[in-house]
Structure 1
């Protein structure tokens, strides 16, 4: 490979990376809830255009009042992760129809999860395009497994790398702690 070919390949790769923030990225979120200890865990999975997993994240929450609050916190974590990744166009998908509907509306929410929904609404302006979509639980298995495993183990995890297709169904190969 000549120097010119190498230079062109690097330029194409950099242009592809620059354009990443302009493509719609899919964020799946789910949560599990421990009523006895008032704790929950949010599981987030970030997918690219071809369905490849770009990142995953698990967040533990304390003093959570209900399963609806747990799902709302997971939605908020998805928004926050999108902002931190610099994504401009995003689809936020979850299996809680109630939380998705509340995120889609611009009306003030006076329910128990109203404060969390207001936080989500206030962060929408960070994106050029944001859509909230309900998906069936069967389409959200990986995010659910991440949250469930985190609540059982009691640890937060954050992964920012591509995971091969055969690993999508099993949450393996993650870092043991948060990156510095």
Structure 2
């Protein structure tokens, strides 16, 4: 895969994210679902995508319980981002804030190991 191919894929991804910003998202809650205990250990995986040309980034977050079940997922768009380091730091911060807002006492944070 060439650098041009990678650039096209990133641009396509950012275009797709732009369309997500414009759509209205709704959340349906299944009241019959058992809520996990807040003292259980969960893992939050975070990923950061960064476009240096537009100084924008996206943070993707997924919270899994000890059985590997998805408890929550979230995408956050950021603007005025100066570097990949800042994008990854914001994604990590979002991961921590999501765990706190869900009320968990113990949270493992795992970042995207594919970026440098």
TM-score normalised per structure 1: 0.43
Aligned equivalent of 1:28 = 45
Aligned equivalent of 1:75 = 92
Given candidates 81, 84, 105, the residue that maps to 1:88 is 105
For each residue in 1:97-118, what CA deviation from the matched residue of structure 2 results, as whole angstroms up to 9, or x when unmatched?
A: xxxxxxxxxxxxxxxxxxxxxx
* Structure 1 unmatched runs, 5+: 1-15, 96-135, 138-180
Deviation at 1:20, TM superposition (A): 1.6
Tell me the distance in 1 between the aligned counterparts of 2:97 and 2:71.
Answer: 16
For residues 22-171 of structure 1, the aligned pairs below 5 Å read 22-95=39-112, 136-137=113-114
For each residue in 1:124-178, what CA deviation from the matched residue of structure 2 results, as whole angstroms up to 9, or x when unmatched?
A: xxxxxxxxxxxx44xxxxxxxxxxxxxxxxxxxxxxxxxxxxxxxxxxxxxxxxx
User: Could you say which structure has the larger radius of gyration?
Assistant: 1
Root-mean-square deviation (CA, aligned residues, Å) is 1.9
What secondary structure sits across from 1:64 in the alignment?
A: coil
Deviation at 1:41, TM superposition (A): 0.3
Tell me the distance in 1 between the aligned counterparts of 2:68 and 2:85.
Answer: 27
What secondary structure sits across from 1:87 in the alignment?
A: coil
Q: Which has the higher strand share?
A: 2
TM-score normalised per structure 2: 0.66
What secondary structure sits across from 2:97 in the alignment?
A: helix
* Structure 2 unmatched runs, 5+: 1-33
The number of residue pairs the alignment matches comes to: 83
